[in-house]
Amino acid sequence: MHRSSWRIASIVLLATIACVSNPATALVSREEGDRLQVKFKAMTQVGTSHARTTITEAELNSYLAFNAQEKIPHGLSNPSIRMLKQGQLSGRVLVDIDDYKRVHPAKGLTDPLTYAFGRVPVTARGTLRSYAGKGQFQLASAEIMGLPLPKAVFQQMVSFFTRTRESPSGFDINAPFDLPAKIRQISVNRAQAVVIQ
């Protein structure tokens, strides 16, 4: 995969993981996923500034369901995102909690991870802020199986599941990151986002 395409896919996945509350209600389809894949390819080939690309919630969730299976980190499945308003995102992903607990065991009876086994839903809500080619997530809340998940534990999960050879520490949800493909800003509104290059 072309490096810019990989970076765009990574941003989508990080949004899923880092801003993962309610499953998206829009129906998914292969056609919608393919439409977004074409848009991603076009975004990586943009040579002029001020290009604007609209991505719908249905396209994003369809892309995640049909086109991004091999890009979704091992241990995560069935991601979905809701685009709310003013940069707010919510979402849900199933997490292989046993895989995570092999490295990060539960810390006692009050730890919600003590009671979690197999694939469990992790949900979260947050805000994506972007400007001048940089993005940053502000996590508002996270839950596991409907129980509050401390932000530090959520960050640890995100880091664990997003580790790569290029980034052995994984993604830091608190740190600003470079937007790929000359993207200057992403404006999230209800059920859609506008990508500005």
Q: Could you give phi then psi for residue 147, rounded to 5 degrees?
A: -100, 140
How much is the pLDDT for 84? Answer: 95
pLDDT at residue 2 above 70? no
Write the single-letter amino acid at 180.
Answer: P
Distance CA 104, CA 94 (A): 17
Q: pLDDT-based confidence at 11, cuts 50/70/90?
A: low
Coarse DSSP helix, strand, coil percentages of the chain, rounded to the nearest 5 percent: 35, 30, 35
DSSP E strand stretches across 16-113: 52-56, 76-83, 88-96
90 secondary structure, DSSP code: E
Q: For 85-143, write each residue's pLDDT tens digit.
A: 999 999 999 999 999 999 999 888 888 888 899 999 999 999 999 999 999 999 999 99
Say what the pLDDT of residue 92 is: 97
Q: How confident is the model at residue 12 (pLDDT cuts 50, 70, 90)?
A: low
**Residue 161 is encoded by which pair of tokens?**
């599941």
> pTM for the whole thing?
0.84
pLDDT at 14: 55
DSSP annotation of 65 reads I
Residue 144 in contact with residue 168, Cβ under 8 Å?
no
Q: Is the dihedral of CA 34, 73, 87, 25 positive or negative?
A: positive
pLDDT at residue 51 tops 60: yes
Q: What is the dihedral of CA 81, 110, 103, 141, to 10 degrees?
A: 20
Tell me how far apart the alpha carbons of residues 74 and 128 are, in angstroms, rounded to a whole number: 24
Is the pLDDT at 20 greater than 50, yes or no?
no
Predicted confidence band of residue 27 (pLDDT cuts 50, 70, 90)? confident
The pLDDT, as a whole number, for residue 25 is 45
144-194 pLDDT, tens digit per residue, is: 999 999 999 999 999 999 999 999 999 999 999 999 989 999 999 999 999
- As a whole number of angstroms, the distance between CA 15 and CA 91 comes to 9
Q: How confident is the model at residue 19 (pLDDT cuts 50, 70, 90)?
A: very low
pLDDT at 102: 95
Residues 45-71: what's their mean pLDDT? 90
Instruction: Give the helix/strand (H/E) hosting 143.
Output: strand 134-144
Ordered by start, the domain boundaries in the chain are 3-196
